[in-house]
Amino acid sequence: MSKTLATLAQKMLKAALKAVDPFQLITEQLRIENDRLLVHQQTFDLNRYRHIYVVGAGKASGQMALAIEKLLGPRIDDGLIVVKYGHGAPTQKIRILEAGHPVPDQNTLIGGEEILHLAEKAGEDDLVIILLSGGGSALMEALPEPLTLDDLQKLNEILLGCGATIQEINAVRKHISRIKGGQLARAVAPATGLTFILSDVIGDPLDSIASGPTVPDPTTFKDAWQVLERYHILERVPPRILRYLEHGLNQKINETPKQEQAFFKAIYNFILGNNLRALTRAAQVARAHGVTPLILTDRLQGEVREIAQLLGGIFASSLKNDLPLGSPGCLLLGGEPTVTLKGKGKGGRNQEMALAVLTALGRQNKPFYFCSVGTDGTDGPTDAAGAWIDESTWQKVEALNLSPETFLAHNDSYHFFKALDQLIVTGPTGTNVMDLLLFLR
């Protein structure tokens, strides 16, 4: 029975990823008629633009660039997209630069500076197309003096391990940058900017996706400082970054662009795909196979271990009392929980979620299948996208004499599931809309 559930889960995940394939999203939602570019309810006359430049960053931006090239072809004059290593695409007119993620590297800075250069090069009669997806914050950066790459890398490592939300992390990132938080839009002016976005943030807030380079920034230097205070990491942040933020607090450095800036009127932002779109497609596949689906949320957030306690209770109720769903049924969730690192093991939030749910759910006799998967194909600093468990997992755990609690305490979910042969390895998927969690029974 579990094999049947696992097979269905694989079909659901495959369909979900296809629904948010960036190439397909652009092909479906953008078209050209009579030299006019049609996007949703907007129309742009391509004949009025002397030059078209394409810039952007993110794990999915390579495939987005490939689709834009297919659509606009020789109309494109130049372009640069920054992607994670291994996430490139065979573009012709748009250059692809691979850079570090989640830890930025030198190419991150090279790409950010080149993107700013192209944006500033655009004039009033030009069009700049910006392609953004998850990972854009780490992949595209232009630092103000005197900040260095080493400062940036240390800050990112601290922020990613402290348990802060992506919105909080980006509030800090935007205030040590010359490109984030609406500053790319300022560089694009006076040209027209069209931003096409694949959302990887809870609720699709434009100012948080890739740190909102083309939208007004509602956060301030004070907000950034308060994040460092809230998570008690002020003393760990590189001194040059602290001094820079202090200058901002004392109004010695200009704030990021706000809503009243006139240049935002020439910037148009379009969300092409998100987590809910993926969940909806997965639910359709379940229903087509005679399994009743229930999407619980597309906004799952908070500490993995706390969420796992709740999910363990929900899944146990389903298995024992048919609440909130009987058999055959499927519960679907999406979002991006966080992990506060305390151990020195290897893993990612999806593998940790599967391990924490295993310990919370306990031994079960009825057939079930649960998986947690990162839609980009990479879960933390590992080669896995996530992990799965079913009613036979505890037998394997005992046969191998493993202690789930010990692995969990050391944040070592990768080696736990590797020993069980229950990692989910997809390789780079070309997309990124946060995480998908499926429970089938």
Res 263: pLDDT: 97
* Alpha-carbon gap, residue 204 to 383, rounded angstroms: 27
Note the pLDDT tens digit of each residue in 44-88: 999 999 999 999 999 999 999 999 999 999 999 999 999 999 889
Give buried/exposed letters for 326-354 (b at 16+ CB in 10 A, else e): ebbbbbbbbbbbbbeeeeebbbbbbbbbb
The enclosing domain of 311 has a CATH number of 3.40.1480.10
Query: Are residue 204 and residue 335 in the same domain, yes or no?
Result: no
Backbone angles phi, psi at 14, to 5 degrees: -60, -45
Q: Is 280 among the domain residues?
A: no
C-beta separation of 38 from 30 below 8 A: yes
Last residue of a domain, one of 275, 310, 342: 275
Provide the domain limits for residue 91: 19-275
Give me the pLDDT at residue 160, please. 87
Tokens (6 digits) for 245? 């933020």
Instruction: Please write the tens of the pLDDT for every residue from 266-290.
Output: 999 999 999 999 999 999 999 999 9
In what helix (H) or strand (E) does residue 351 lie, and over which residues does it extend? Answer: helix 349-361
- Between the alpha carbon of residue 242 and those of residues 4, 59, 189, 254, the distances in Å are 54, 29, 30, 16
Residues 266 and 312 in one domain: no
> What pLDDT sits at residue 150?
98
Same domain, 327 and 232: no
Residue 1 pLDDT exceeds 80: no
Q: How many domains does the chain have?
A: 2
pLDDT number for residue 137: 93
pLDDT bracket for residue 424 (50, 70, 90): very high
In terms of domains, do 314 and 172 share one? no
pLDDT, average across residues 149-176: 93
For residue 398, tell me if it sits in a domain: yes
120 pLDDT tier (thresholds 50, 70, 90): very high
> Which of 398, 392, 399, 394 lies closest to 368 in space, CA to CA?
392
| Cα distance between residue 313 and residue 310, in whole Å | 5
CB count in 10 Å sphere of residue 51: 16
Lowest mean pLDDT among 40-44, 101-105, 115-119, 353-357: 101-105
pLDDT at 2: 73
Same domain, 132 and 221: yes
**Does the pLDDT at position 343 exceed 60?**
yes
User: In angstroms, rounded to a whole number, what is the distance separating the alpha carbons of residues 278 and 89?
Assistant: 22
Q: Is residue 128 part of a domain?
A: yes
Q: With bands split at pLDDT 50, 70 and 90, how would you rate the model's confidence at 394? A: very high
Q: Give domain status of residue 285, yes or no.
A: no
- Please report whether residue 171 resides in a domain: yes
Residue 114 domain-assigned (yes or no): yes
Question: Does any domain span residue 100?
Answer: yes
Q: What is the pLDDT of residue 118?
A: 98
Per-residue pLDDT tens digits for 208-246? 999 999 999 999 999 999 999 999 999 999 999 999 999
pLDDT band at 320 (very low <50, low <70, confident <90, very high): very high
Across 388-392, average pLDDT:
97
From 213, 247, 275, the end of a domain falls on: 275
Determine the pLDDT at residue 376. Answer: 92
Confidence of residue 359 (pLDDT cuts 50, 70, 90): very high
Q: Are residues 330 and 262 in the same domain?
A: no
Q: Could you tell me if 269 and 378 lie in one domain?
A: no
In this structure, what CATH number is given to the domain that contains residue 216? Answer: 3.40.50.10180
- Same domain, residue pair 187 and 303: no
The confidence score (pLDDT) of residue 176 equals: 98
pLDDT at 309: 98
Residues 37 and 156 in one domain: yes
How confident is the prediction for the chain on average, in pLDDT?
Answer: 96
pLDDT at 346: 97
Considering the domain architecture, whether residues 308 and 165 belong to the same structural domain is answered as no
* Together in a domain, 125 and 262: yes
Q: Is there a domain that residue 281 lies in?
A: no
Q: What is the pLDDT of residue 163?
A: 86
Residue burial 211-237, b: 16+ Cβ < 10 Å; e: rest: bbbbbbbbbbbebbbebbeebebeeeb
How far apart CA 412 and CA 396 sit, in angstroms, is 17
Per-residue model confidence as pLDDT tens digits over 243-259: 999 999 999 999 999 99
Domain boundary among 230, 252, 275: 275
Contact yes or no for 441/328 (Cβ under 8 A):
yes
Q: Give pLDDT, residue 399.
A: 97
Are 380 and 357 within one domain? yes
